[in-house]
Structure 1
Amino acid sequence: MSRPTPTVDWAAAGRLAGTLVPAGTAPSGDEAAELVATLRSSAVRARELARRAARLDHALESPGARTEPAQVLVVDRAGWARAAASSFTGIAGGRPIPGPTAQAAGLLTLLATRVLGQYDPYTGDGRLVLVAPNVLRAERTMRVPRDDFRLWVCVHEQTHALQFAAAPWLADHLRGELAGLLAEVESTPATAEAGALLTGVVRALRGGTRDQWSFLDVLPAGQRERVERLTAVMSLLEGHADVTMDAAARAIPSARTLRRRMEARRSSTAPGDLLLRRLLGLDAKLAQYRGGAAFVRAVRRRGGRDVLDAAWASPEGLPLPGEIADPAAWLRRVG
């Protein structure tokens, strides 16, 4: 008789990760207050910069688009772990995610040391979370202008907020795809071990590429297709946000330096970085940024500056997995 598949208690995982994650770079009292204040002010300024650079004006003026700005939270690493656990609960829509709670806590702990910011459309009306010690550590490690870097990071996250505002159906669409995947997994419990399923779900929501996932190899075709559809959407969102960061360069004097050093950070070959990237699928994430950005630039080059509006209009306009690498196919399909 087979044992029941364990499911994640996300609240417990968030609490446990919050106790496990190291605090990170610790500023002095005055420096901490200044860090929080400038991150908040950068997030406010970044919203208008992102709106101009993202070319979402038409979509944001369409019926049903949201106009209110996202709530901004500046947190420490433990706070991000708890917030991320809450976000996973929201996107799952109450449906259990297979996997051990301890492993979920471990993944959150590792991610909490790396994430600079995150837009969460599944909590309240949406919130933008910035991880202060990680931002501080990154700007010091990369030796980049402090104010420019904080604004640049906020442009990326505010672009995500604007994407979900312009496409108010998008959060439910992603939740529906995940619900379908989990329902299929529940009906075929022997397809993979719970730990592999958990890792795969987390990577699907953060983005990845198939050739770096042994997880996908053990899934039936229907489940694999759902994960690949999720990955394609996340590639669009992340690539579009990266393109927007670069388009906002006129307002950020050191933007070229920031891009160059961020790419070096993402591709670091230091042994510790290589291990973390392998554990968290961050090489897949890097491929997602680059592939999505190449897709956005290519469709705009061929179809005009507003051609991407089709992607925010309905689920049918989202790129399919093969179209991220073949922008012409997406243009032919959406007309």
Structure 2
Amino acid sequence: MNLQRSVRAIATASGNGSGGVDWEAVATAAKSAIGAGALELTDAERAGYAADVADARDRLRSVGGLNFDIPPTVEVQNRHHWIDANVATFRRVMAPVESEVNVAFPTATSVFNTGSMAAVLSFLASNVLGQYDPLLLADGDDHELYFVHPNIVEAAADLDVDYPRFRRWIAFHEVTHAAEFGAAPWLSTRLEARLEGALGTLSQGGFDREAFRDLNTTMTAVEGYAEMLMDRAFDAEYADLRRKLDARRRGGGPVMRVARRLLGLGMKRRQYERGAAFFRAVADQRSVAAAAAVWDDPANLPTDAEFDDPTQWVARVDP
């Protein structure tokens, strides 16, 4: 950790003279603010990650009734690797906004924007356990899967749970996202269209409420279905893992809670909880496989009212 280097990178951010984000400085500052974490994997650990992903794929196919494959890229990373991967993602997604925005004080704005992004990425890199990345707005149709090994090891110790079992449960969660996007080829296109619309409106000083509302509804389905399916498909006891991880999402000290609120992680937690309650109700009424009808067609996504009354969705979709 080198906080002086982090501050220097932010203070000298250029943003190409436009007031945009200096992404090279973001990467430098974020990585200087936190340690990379240990990534000395034993042969058994490498084999464990591979087995967890493969077993999750097979179980999710069987229990969920989904046709999908795992991403071509599966990486076990440290925190700095994760930052590099996500700088590329943020840079790609924010490009339309940066190219359109004009500011009165570009240098000061660039320093602020660069510092803000570095703070966000360093915070997330310290906490994220795994990530399925559909590579939205990227060329091609590849997708990637990451596991942040030092965070998984530390979280297992903090939660006082068995590390291999916890690692496997995280693998099931992330592979479930791969299952969703693999089973619904239209999902990436829908999210990209809504994201482009929302960001385009923001770059013009407006706010597209409908685009953000649709993004929230879609992500509530994505997160909620993943929560339900990972629990139903996991091949070991998980009640203690669910209880402790849910507490971790809500917990932390005052600084942690403020940071989560500022980053919108409270909204993400509500997406998990609301969506999971919906899909658990559907799975209980019909079956786990029947709930997968949500990915057959964009029209099958639950409406806001249906999230609160799953019987309406069952009657409409009739899975």
TM-score range normalised by the length of the shorter chain: 0.7 to 0.9
Aligned to 2:97: 96
Contact 2:97 2:202 (C-alpha < 8 Å) held by counterparts? no
Deviation per CA, 1:106-151: give whole Å up to 9, x if none: 2111111111001011166111110011101100111111211111
Aligned to 2:5: none
Once residues 186 and 45 of structure 1 are traced to their aligned partners in structure 2, the CA distance between those partners, rounded to angstroms, is 44
Aligned to 1:112, what secondary structure does the other structure show? helix
Q: Normalization by structure 1: what TM-score?
A: 0.75
Aligned to 2:78: 76
Contact 2:71 2:145 (C-alpha < 8 Å) held by counterparts? no
Once residues 145 and 245 of structure 1 are traced to their aligned partners in structure 2, the CA distance between those partners, rounded to angstroms, is 18
Aligned to 1:22, what secondary structure does the other structure show? coil
Contact 1:295 1:325 (C-alpha < 8 Å) held by counterparts? yes
Shift of 1:244: 1.8
Aligned to 1:316: 299
Considering only aligned residues, what root-mean-square deviation do their CA atoms show, in Å? 2.8
Q: Percent identity at matched positions?
A: 35
Aligned to 1:238: 223
Q: Normalization by structure 2: what TM-score?
A: 0.79
Segments of 4+ in structure 1 off by > 6 A?
A: none
| Alignment CA distance shift 1:152-1:170 (3 Å) | same
| Alignment CA distance shift 1:237-1:255 (3 Å) | same
Once residues 325 and 301 of structure 1 are traced to their aligned partners in structure 2, the CA distance between those partners, rounded to angstroms, is 15
Once residues 11 and 35 of structure 1 are traced to their aligned partners in structure 2, the CA distance between those partners, rounded to angstroms, is 32
Shift of 1:328: 3.3
Aligned to 1:140: 157
Aligned to 2:96, what secondary structure does the other structure show? coil
Aligned to 2:62: 52
Once residues 114 and 174 of structure 2 are traced to their aligned partners in structure 1, the CA distance between those partners, rounded to angstroms, is 28
Contact 1:74 1:131 (C-alpha < 8 Å) held by counterparts? yes
Aligned to 1:274: 257
For 1:209-228, list aligned pairs within 5 A.
Answer: 219=207, 223-228=208-213
* Aligned pairs, number: 286
Select which of 200, 203, 207 maps to 1:183.
Answer: 200
1:256 paired with 2:273, answer no
Structure 1 unaligned blocks of 5 or more = 61-65, 192-218
Shift of 1:295: 1.1
Choose 1 or 2 for highest CA Rg: 2
| Alignment CA distance shift 1:277-1:323 (3 Å) | same
1:286 paired with 2:269, answer yes
Q: Which amino acid aligns with 2:50?
A: R
Structure 2 unaligned blocks of 5 or more = 1-16, 102-108
For 1:4-83, list aligned pairs within 5 A.
Answer: 6-8=19-21, 10=23, 12-24=25-37, 26=38, 29=40, 34-53=44-63, 55-57=64-66, 60=67, 67=69, 69-83=71-85
Shift of 1:319: 2.4
Contact 1:70 1:161 (C-alpha < 8 Å) held by counterparts? no
